[in-house]
Amino acid sequence: MQEINVFVVDDHQIFLDGIISLLEDEPNIKIVGTAHNGKQAVEDIKKTNADVVLMDINMPEMDGIEATKHLKKANPNIKILMLTMHSEPRFIKECLEIGAKGYVLKNISKDDLLKAIDAVYQDKPYLDQDAQEKLISAMSNTEDEDDKNYDELAAQITQRELEILQLIALGLTSQDIATKLFISKNTVETHRKNMLAKMNVNNTAALLKIAYKKGLV
């Protein structure tokens, strides 16, 4: 089994000592360094051959999110596993968006931490169960809120706009719709623009997606 070089970043010495004690006897893991803040980590990791970085979020001088941005910019191939007490979905999403490969909470078991390190080392994304549940719950709540917003927006669509929307869904062009409804092409285009504005979308495809979802067409 190939050895994984691990660098640990956390501002609490007692936690660093705990992680080192937890991992140092693992035959395929080698602790190549530690840092107490993001700034120190960015400087010191460059001097090591770290494969995986265990990164806390809240730290002095430079937090783990900023440190991750710097490290990924300097070395896009470095694997970063966030190891934190923060379970808020906004942290999880931001860390994954900026390049962290995994996100686990500090109450994780040793076995699961080893699985996370191995997965991230193999360039596979990893979220522990708590993080997954938080993220899924947040996404569900966002979808519910979107549905509520779309219901309110759909109520603003006039009968004429709805008629035009249904014809758009059938694949008719603006000229076809104008001819069918005995109105000008410009009038059709105006109604189309008004619907885009009311539904807060930028194109007809997005407009139709909402229309199908809400049963308007």
Q: What is the pLDDT of residues 87-146, one digit of tens each?
A: 887 888 888 888 899 999 998 899 999 999 999 999 888 888 777 776 666 655 555 545
What is the value of pTM for the model shown?
A: 0.63
Of 211 and 75, the structure prediction assigns the larger pLDDT to: 75
Q: Cβ distance 165 to 205 under 8 Å?
A: no
Token reading at 55: 């990164």
Per-residue model confidence (pLDDT) at position 145: 47
Tell me the average pLDDT across 171-186.
Answer: 91
Q: What is the pLDDT of residues 49-70, one digit of tens each?
A: 999 999 999 998 899 999 999 9
**Mean of pLDDT over the chain:** 86
State the CATH architecture for 4-135.
3-Layer(aba) Sandwich (3.40)
User: DSSP letters of the chain?
Assistant: ---EEEEEE-S-HHHHHHHHHHHTT-TTEEEEEEESSHHHHHHHHTTS--SEEEE-SS-SSS-HHHHHHHHHHH-TT-EEEEEES---HHHHHHHHHTT--EEEETT--HHHHHHHHHHHHTT--EE-HHHHHHHHHHHHHHHHHHHHHHHHHHTT--HHHHHHHHHHHTT--HHHHHHHHTS-HHHHHHHHHHHHHHHT-SSHHHHHHHHHHTT--
- Whether the predicted pLDDT of 23 surpasses 90: yes
Per-residue model confidence (pLDDT) at position 147: 55
Tell me the average pLDDT across 202-207.
Answer: 80
Of 99, 42, 92, nearest to 70 (Cα)? 42
Please tell me the number of Cα atoms within 13 Å of 73 on its side-chain side.
7
State the CATH architecture for 156-213.
Orthogonal Bundle (1.10)
Q: What is the pLDDT of residues 25-40, one digit of tens each?
A: 899 999 999 999 999 9
Domain ranges in the chain are 4-135, 156-213
Per-residue model confidence (pLDDT) at position 139: 56
What CA–CA distance (Å, rounded) separates 39 from 18?
22
Tell me the average pLDDT across 152-180.
Answer: 85
What CA–CA distance (Å, rounded) separates 81 from 96?
10
